[in-house]
Amino acid sequence: MPNPNKWQAINEFWSSFGLAAYDENSVPAGARLPYITYSASTGAINNMIILSASIWYYSDSWKDISDKADEIAAEIGYGHITIPVEGGYLMITRGTPFAQRMSDEDHAIRRIYINTQAEFLTAH
């Protein structure tokens, strides 16, 4: 099976945490929390870009959503994670700040905003 293109690799990364993941501009009507939304952007080879995401939960507690943010942090680690893509790799590192709790008009909606940096690298 060939490696995914850049867009597919970004979706596969955010979808790998046991929640539905959607491009932030393409959340389907009727999507049910919890889920992840992410910015869909790519860049030229060897250029750093920002990939942000939001984890969304409906809860009266921050525990489950914070655990999910910790899971994502552990997957990236303190270095980086490398994902094969067509013609190279997608390298993802933590951004600063990595995770921020966000408020919502509905006080039962919990959101954690995740900052990552990504770079597309050639396979050669």
CA–CA gap between residue 103 and residue 42 (Å, rounded): 28
Which element (helix H / strand E) includes 85?
A: strand 81-85
Strand order in the sheet with 35-38: 20-23, 35-38, 48-58, 109-122, 88-102, 81-85
Burial class (CB in 10 A: 0-12, 13-18, 19+), 34: middle
CA–CA gap between residue 29 and residue 77 (Å, rounded): 34
CA–CA gap between residue 81 and residue 40 (Å, rounded): 18
pLDDT of residue 40: 76
pLDDT of residue 45: 67
pLDDT of residue 121: 83
Structural domains in the chain, sorted by start: 6-122 (3.30.2000.40)
Task: Find out whether 20 and 94 touch, Cβ atoms under 8 Å.
Answer: no
User: One digit per residue, pLDDT tens: the chain, 124 residues?
Assistant: 788 888 898 999 999 999 999 999 999 999 999 999 999 777 666 778 889 999 999 999 999 999 999 999 999 999 999 999 888 888 999 999 999 999 889 999 999 999 999 988 876 5
pLDDT of residue 123: 66
pLDDT of residue 44: 65
